Amino acid sequence: MSNPHLISDEDLHAYIDGALSEERALLVRKVLAENAALAERAALFEADKAMFKTVYGPLAERPLPPEWTLRVRRQERPRMNWRLASAIAATLAVLAGSPLVWRYAAVPASADVVDVALDARAGALAQTQHIPTGPKPDSYDAALRQTIASNVHIPDLSRMGYRLAGLQLYDKAAEILYRGPQNQLFSLYVRRSDGSARFDQFARRGLRVCIWQDDQITTVMAGDVSAAAMQRLATLSYTGLTS
């Protein structure tokens, strides 16, 4: 069924948050009862919100680290944990229903890891090992950690309908491959970070691309998906990698 009342994603997020007027909320509720696809989308948004609260909610209750308090008193600028900062910034954007557009210290295009990642996706890089899907997916975590030299995990994207399709290993980098509901390819290229933080989403080579980089790892996600779908896939991917 179509969306005759033009209920936007912003309406759905506001409805979930209880921020709509009573009249608008009644309209949204009526449309959701008649539109199964829209109701499923609202359910996914609500599930995402619950997940983010579970993952990041405890952060609000944590006291400031003593060394931060000491530096503030000394009028020193504390060093930010950019992994935490980038995760919180992107999570707040998702919870607000806004596109993820936060960026910090972007790497110059001439040294862009995105092109390397897309070359890997296209099969233009020589891989050292290919690990296909099998009955023991836990073995992927060990191979990934050894290659990246970081405590990372294979993300579970099944809630978005994506199944693990394989793991490609390169020199100090890895590519995690997934297949979507229509067998579309979604790839995660992961390697050690140069220490700077970066988040961006854009189109390149006919694909939707998201780069999420913290002080430890760089992740480049690519697929033939919408910006909204990439927003959700990127958050699930990054959370799964680093949790």
Q: Measure the CA dihedral 138/52/238/209, to 10°.
A: 130
pLDDT for res 10:
83
Mean pLDDT of 99-125: 65
Q: Are 211 and 220 in contact (CB under 8 A)?
A: yes
8 has a pLDDT exceeding 80: yes
Residue 171 CB burial class (10 angstroms; 0-12, 13-18, ≥19)? exposed
Give the pLDDT band of residue 183 (cuts 50, 70, 90). very high
Phi, psi of 121 (to 5 degrees): -60, -35
CATH number for 99-242 (one of 3.40.1000, 3.20.20, 1.10.260, 3.30.559): it is: 3.40.1000
Q: Are 90 and 99 in contact (CB under 8 A)?
A: no
Of 39 and 90, the structure prediction assigns the larger pLDDT to: 39
pLDDT for res 48:
67
Supply 108's token pair.
């110059």
38 has a pLDDT exceeding 90: no
pLDDT for res 103:
40
Of 41 and 131, the structure prediction assigns the larger pLDDT to: 41
Lowest mean pLDDT among 68-72, 90-94, 154-158, 216-220: 90-94
pLDDT for res 198:
83
Alpha-carbon gap, residue 129 to 174, rounded angstroms? 10
C-alpha 1 chain-centroid distance: 29
Tens of pLDDT along 132-155? 665 555 678 888 998 999 999 999
Alpha-carbon gap, residue 133 to 71, rounded angstroms? 49
Is the entire prediction scored with pTM above 0.95?
no
pLDDT for res 1:
47
Kind and range of the H or E run holding 6: none
Give the pLDDT band of residue 17 (cuts 50, 70, 90). confident
Cα distances from 169 to residues 3, 176, 243, in angstroms, run 44, 9, 21
Q: Measure the CA dihedral 126/131/133/137, to 10°.
A: -130
223 has a pLDDT exceeding 80: yes
Sequence spans of domains, the chain: 1-79, 99-242
Alpha-carbon gap, residue 152 to 45, rounded angstroms? 26
Q: Is 3 helix (H, G, I), strand (E, B) or coil?
A: coil
